[in-house]
A and B are shown apart, each in its own frame.
Chain A
């Protein structure tokens, strides 16, 4: 049971940062949704909002951690070009996928979508975290603002989910080792 340095970074990218974001999303979305004056007392609101602020900032940081570690640490290993004449492409996942027409779409569609759409997740999540922090309990009275926050948050999750799902599939087809 050993892991290479590359595998450890892949785990940090997907299973630590990415997983924290995807796992925490539904709870944070409900916390924002539940910020309603008719549902909470003043004491309950203060307690909820402080936890929600920490929660959404944690998720935004996790999303930035996932895209930065993914782009600048893991992705170079994925896209590295093999030396000419290399027969065993297992250390070059992009080339391995493209070498077989049966797996090429994992790169052409899956990886191409994943590597780009993922950037929308931290952008949208940071907007959400800022607005929750700025308004605090006031967000409970702001119906339009809360709706916009929730849409940004859902888009953020959708982007991260697409990236995470294809990350898992591609890792299964051609892992970074």
Chain B
């Protein structure tokens, strides 16, 4: 006899999922914006040169990854075990932030802000 799964699945609060999505979006957006600003400001770009063989990408990657995990961890601690009512809004914001990350890493977008 095959069981229908909707009868057997237990529910779980969506807080940790909202935290993961928003943390991912924040991490992507921070990385994208750091990348964009490092192209706009040479001094900022040079300040991100934390490991010379890799150049400014070392600082960008370490800061972006740190922002990603810190944002996720903070949001997770806030929403752990909780049901977030405005999940759809949070999910939409996360996707917009992800798009900011994509745009910030796309060279033609940098050139929109750089005067030749």
Q: Do the beta carbons of B105 and A116 come within 8 Å of each other? A: yes
B6 to chain A: closest residue by CB: A37
A134 near B24 with CB under 8 A, answer: no
Hey, what's the 0/1 contact readout for B36-79 against A, CB within 8 Å counting as 1?
A: 00000000000000010111011011001100100000000000
| Cross-chain contact A120 with B31 (CB below 8 angstroms) | yes
Residues of B within 8 A of A155 (CB): 98, 102
When distances are taken between beta carbons in the complex, the residues of chain A under 8 Å from B11 are 138, 141
Residues of A within 8 A of B106 (CB): 113, 117
- For residue A167, CB closer than 8 A to chain B, the reply is no
Q: Interface of chain B, helix or strand or loop or mixed?
A: helix
Within 8 Å of chain B (Cβ to Cβ): is A119? yes
Set of chain B residues within 8 Å of A137, measured between Cβ atoms: 5, 8-9
A residues less than 8 Å from B31 (CB atoms): 116, 119-120, 123
B105 touches A117 (CB 8 A): yes
CA distance A67 to B101 in the complex (A): 16
Selected from A112, A115, A119, A134, the residue in CB contact (under 8 A) with B12 is A134
Does the CB pair A152–B6 fall under 8 Å? no
Instruction: For the complex, give the distance between the alpha carbons of A113 and B106 in Å.
Output: 6
A75-B107 in contact (CB<8A): no
With A116-B60, A148-B91 as known contacts, state yes or no: A79 contacts B5, CB within 8 Å. no
> What residue of chain A has the Cβ atom nearest to residue B88's Cβ?
A144
A148 near B5 with CB under 8 A, answer no
Instruction: Answer yes or no: A41 CB below 8 A from chain B CBs.
Output: yes
Among B14-31, those with CB < 8 Å from A are 14, 16-17, 20-21, 23-24, 27-28, 31
Measured CB to CB, the residues of A under 8 A from B are: 37, 40-43, 45, 67, 71-72, 75-76, 79-80, 108-109, 112-113, 115-117, 119-120, 123-124, 126-127, 130-131, 134-135, 137-138, 140-142, 144-145, 148, 151-152, 155, 159
Query: Footprint of A on B, CB under 8 Å?
Result: 2-12, 14, 16-17, 20-21, 23-24, 27-28, 31-32, 35, 51, 53-55, 57-58, 60-61, 64-65, 68, 87-88, 91, 94-95, 98, 101-102, 104-108
**11 A–B contacts, CB within 8 A, in A order:** A42-B8, A76-B54, A79-B54, A79-B55, A109-B107, A119-B31, A123-B64, A124-B98, A127-B20, A127-B23, A155-B98
